[in-house]
A and B are shown apart, each in its own frame.
Chain A
Amino acid sequence: MTYATHVDDLTERLRATVRPEEGTIPLFVYSDPDVYRLEQERIFGRVWQFVAHESELREEGAFVVRQMGEQSVIVARGDDGEIRVFLNACRHRGMKLTCEDRGVTSMWRCPYHGFTFANYGNFMGTPFERAAYPPDGLDRERLRLIEARCDSYAGLVFATWDEEGPSLAEYLGDMRWYLDIFAGRAEMELVGEAQRWIIPSSWKLPSENFASDAYHTATAHAFLARLGLVRSVDFGRDGYHVDAGGGHGLGMGVHDDRPGSWFPAELEDEYRARLDPDQLALLHRIRNFHGNVFPNLSFLIPNFIPVEGRLVTGMMLRLWQPAGPNRLQAWSWHLVERDAPEWWKRLGRKMYTQTFSSSGMFDQDDTEQWEAQTEVSHAALSRHDEVMLDYTMGLEARPLTDFPGPGTVYGGKFNEAAARSFYRTWLNLILEERA
């Protein structure tokens, strides 16, 4: 069987079994190696992906090394002030131009043969160039670094390999209104280096979880209520569930038992200047806020809990980087308002680290589920029947008509509409053949 026939069979199977509108998703898609290969080609090779935060690249020449799918990329602010994203590959033999996590430089010199590239992508030269490539050396333009399209929204820098596709603004669509609340309400900064760790899980499971799954908190994170840190399981129920379109989704916990804003008063003017009145009003009502920008950028304003006697939250930005059908690399950052008072920064970081991080008391428990789900999904390789999973929660629910924000918004967080939307977008992309 040729590879093309094999892909045809696979896409046929996907078309027949991935039925988000009916609330069914087949088990095999979680970790099937052929599905994973298609995802690399048709999702991570095409869609906009988060690569950095602008606060990491304030200086000219500053760069960070990140991943788009399995491809290593350099995200750099060039000497001309512009942020660009390059494939981290020398044009001579494909060696990585840089093997560190970050730095500041005007150029990268390949450690193999010395081919040198400016921080804005131009090929600058190579040692003994005229002797090696007589008489005039190499063509500068032909050897420019391979560059992705790059744009940013609310301080979040994204890139895509697709030259023809939608703009970032179009891609984010209705999600922008919610990203404003999360990342655009103030000038934000990432705090320090990313925490990174390996989870033996499909990248889709945590992505889907953050987009859609508030329901699991009552069971998976029951310790929070057991230890009296939240009133009861309603921290995962009361609020809104949003299918923001394009596979993006989020949930917002709202319970009005303790009225008034929990955010620091010192930041109110900045919030007001950057948000519209509806966004600002919502910000002050939320008690938790979780979502996923398709495909794999999750974000969170966790439940406020007391640290040193003060109620704080500690915002999280999380990338679920695919590293194989059964394996992902988690990248986790703490995000905070740059002009926040010192106590908010200090306690917020503690709160973030203790709840949602490599050692986070929530994260820990989730990794158990995702690993086991991934392991179980291998069973699909040796079964002749199709194991179908239930994604029907909220299938009959009617969206709200009076919610001020965009997207399809449901009252109450117990819903799986955003997960269905995630798999609809996923399926459409994975079936899209291009010449």
Chain B
Amino acid sequence: MSTSVWVLPAEAVSPQARIAAEDFLIAEAALLDDRRFDEWLELFTDDVEYVAPVRSIRRRGYGDDVDWESRHFDDDKTSLSLRVRRLTETDVAWAEDPPSFTRRIVSNFRFRAGPADDELTVTTNLLLFRSRGTRGDSDVIAGERTDVLRLVDGQLKIAKRHVVLDQATLGTKNLGVFL
């Protein structure tokens, strides 16, 4: 039996869904780079889980280097709202005022149906360039994101975001920027 590469296996995510998800995540990154935080917050479901575990240096075969017990972010919609309100409603969020210049590169999209019927899991690579201050300093924050996107009233929303960062010691002085 021959299988053409042009015939999608049954479990594959449809091209339409892939394009919609990719457009959605690229637009989401643009909202953050443009600091349109209120609009960005609208992209999350009310039950969102936003988590970035801590990495450590381990010998191969001697334990996982991703520790989900310890987290750089351990957030939900309420705390994300608080972080956004801090940035948008106060003039004392010193870590981001004056703001960093950021540029998010979201790439290497991998799609998986589910876990729920109305959900799609998208794994991407994130490269976040961040520059602060007048001295030409910049940080690069790299990581792998796994997002669960859910269709809510015809709109895609982020129901879960896990970000595994690629440093055991972060080279940026704080995570005052969203991943």
A: which residues have CB within 8 A of B? 99-103, 191-200, 219-223, 226-227, 307-308, 329, 333-334, 349-350, 353-354, 357-361, 363-365, 367-369, 371
Complex Cα gap A99–B57 (Å): 8
Say which residue of A101, A194, A197, A307 sits within 8 Å of B174 (CB atoms): A197
Q: Which of B85-112 contact A (CB under 8 A)?
A: 85-86, 89-90, 92-96
Which A residues are CB-close (under 8 A) to B71? Answer: 192, 349, 353, 357
Question: How far apart are the CA atoms of A243 and B62 in the complex, in Å?
Answer: 44
Q: A198-B171, A358-B72 are in contact. Are A100 and B90 (CB under 8 A)?
A: no
Contact of A194 among B70, B96, B176 (CB under 8 A): B70
Residues in B with CB closer than 8 Å to A199 are: 173-174
Q: Is there an interface contact between A358 and B70, defined as CB atoms closer than 8 Å? A: no
**Shortest Cβ distance from residue B34 to the other chain A in the assembled complex, whole angstroms:** 20
Q: CB-defined interface of B57-70 with A at 8 Å, one 1/0 digit per residue? A: 11100110001111
Residues of B within 8 A of A (CB): 52, 54-59, 62-63, 67-76, 78-79, 82-83, 85-86, 89-90, 92-96, 168-176
- Which chain A positions have C-beta within 8 A of B54? 192-195
Main secondary structure of the interface of B (DSSP, over half): mixed
Residues in A neighbouring B79, C-beta threshold 8 A: 307, 350, 354
Query: CB-nearest residue of chain A relative to B69?
Result: A192
22 of the cross-chain contacts (CB-CB < 8 Å) are A100-B62, A101-B56, A102-B63, A194-B54, A195-B70, A195-B170, A197-B169, A198-B171, A200-B173, A223-B86, A226-B89, A227-B82, A227-B90, A333-B70, A350-B74, A350-B75, A353-B73, A353-B74, A359-B72, A359-B73, A364-B176, A367-B173
Given the complex of chains A and B, what is the CA–CA distance between A102 and B59 in angstroms?
9
A307 vs B77: C-alpha distance in the bound complex, in angstroms? 11
Nearest-Cβ distance from residue A75 to partner chain B, whole angstroms: 15
With contacts A223-B92, A227-B86 taken as known, whether A192 is within 8 angstroms of B67 at the C-beta atoms is yes
Question: Once the chains are docked, how many angstroms separate the CA of A195 from the CA of B76?
Answer: 20
- Are A371 and B86 neighbours in the complex by a CB distance under 8 Å? no
Q: Name, among A222, A359, A367, the residue most crowded by chain B CB atoms within 10 Å (CB to CB).
A: A359
Q: Which of B58, B69, B78, B79 lies at the interface centre, i.e. has the most chain A CB atoms within 10 A of its CB? A: B79
Query: Bound complex: CA of A364 vs CA of B99, how far in Å?
Result: 12
Number of interchain pairs (Cβ within 8 Å): 130
Most chain B C-beta atoms within 10 Å of own C-beta, residue among A103, A329, A368:
A368
Assembly CA distance A226 to B93 (angstroms): 11
Contact B70 A354 (CB under 8 A): no
Contacts of A99 in B (CB 8 A): 57
| Selected contact of B58 from candidates A100, A219, A329, A333, CB within 8 Å | A100
Q: Which residues of B contact A371 (CB under 8 A)?
A: 173
Chain B residues lying within 8 Å of A221, measured Cβ to Cβ, are: 92
Closest to A333 in B: B70
Known interface pairs A195-B70, A197-B170, A200-B173. Does A103 touch B95 (Cβ–Cβ under 8 Å)? no
Cross-interface CB contact of B70 among A192, A227, A308, cutoff 8 Å: A192
In the bound assembly, the distance between CA atoms of A361 and B52 in angstroms comes to: 16
Whether A369 lies near B169 (C-beta < 8 A) is no
Cα–Cα, bound, A334→B74 (Å): 12
Output the nearest chain B residue to A65 by Cβ-Cβ distance: B57
Provide the residues of chain A in CB contact with B74, threshold 8 Å: 349-350, 353-354
Structural contact, B168 and A196, CB atoms closer than 8 A = yes
Closest A residue, CB atoms, query B94: A365
* Closest residue of B by beta carbon distance from A372: B133
- A358/B174 in contact, CB under 8 A: yes
Q: A223-B90, A227-B89 are in contact. List 11 more A-B contacts (CB 8 A).
A: A100-B57, A193-B54, A197-B169, A198-B173, A220-B94, A350-B74, A357-B72, A364-B95, A364-B96, A364-B174, A367-B174
* A102, A194, A359: the one within 8 Å of B175 (CB): A359
**Shortest 7 CB-CB distances between A and B: which pairs?**
A192-B70, A192-B69, A364-B95, A359-B175, A197-B170, A353-B74, A196-B169
Q: With a CB–CB cut-off of 8 A, which chain A residues contact B168?
A: 101, 196
